[in-house]
Amino acid sequence: MKCWNCLKEIPDDAKACQYCETLTDQAPTEEEATFVDDLLASMDDQTREELVAAMEGAGTAEEFVNRIMIGDCPNCGSSDVGDCDNDPAIENILLGRCYACGQLWCTDCEELLEPDATVCGHDAICDKCEEVDSCVSQALDCDRVVQWKTRKQA
């Protein structure tokens, strides 16, 4: 049979794909497949090509998510990265970690963290903000965070 995710041939009795680790009994519903098809059709060519390149360059679903949600290391450019969600000393899904150079950074505002830091400086701005109900979803869309980054770079 073929894996529903990567379309490679796998044994008929396989419970998971040996290539992409997808469980064989968790194929998307027709509604989910239609949603994805519609989403892809709504994307411009460049975005769709970048998404396909990220998917083809990833060996596992986790690597694909890391490429999309975390990106390459802003310090050394490596794509060998992950989040810190499962690190008991950090447990912060918004921090990216480069396995090549060890750099931690905030995936929300793209700030490189100092050695031994586990919290981004923009978090203090967000914690003190009185506009919680009208907060923008991306840190770099917030005037206060942009001002903080500008002062820090000066």
In a domain, 54, yes or no: no
In a domain, 42, yes or no: no
Strand-pair partners of 81 = 98
What mean pLDDT value characterizes the chain?
Answer: 86
The pLDDT value recorded for residue 136 is: 67
Q: What is the pLDDT of residues 65-84, one digit of tens each?
A: 888 888 899 999 998 898 88
Q: Which residue is associated with the tokens 């769709």?
A: 48
- Domain region containing 147: 69-153
The pLDDT value recorded for residue 12 is: 93
In a domain, 115, yes or no: yes
Q: Which residues contact 81 (CB under 8 A, 6 or more apart)?
A: 66, 70, 71, 72, 73, 96, 97, 98, 99
pLDDT, average across residues 61-66? 80
The pLDDT value recorded for residue 21 is: 84
In a domain, 38, yes or no: no
Structure tokens at 97: 């970690």
| Cα 50 from chain centre | 14
Please check the confidence at residue 132 and state whether its pLDDT lies above 70. no
In a domain, 97, yes or no: yes
Q: Quote the number of domains for the chain.
A: 1
The pLDDT value recorded for residue 87 is: 83
Phi, psi for residue 95 in degrees, rounded to 5 = -100, 130
In a domain, 80, yes or no: yes
pLDDT, average across residues 108-130? 86
CA torsion sign for 62, 65, 69, 74 is positive
pLDDT, average across residues 122-133? 78
What is the distance between the terminal CA atoms of the chain, rounded to a whole angstrom? Answer: 59
In a domain, 23, yes or no: no
In what side-by-side order are the strands of the sheet with 92-98? 81-84, 92-98, 104-106
In a domain, 61, yes or no: no
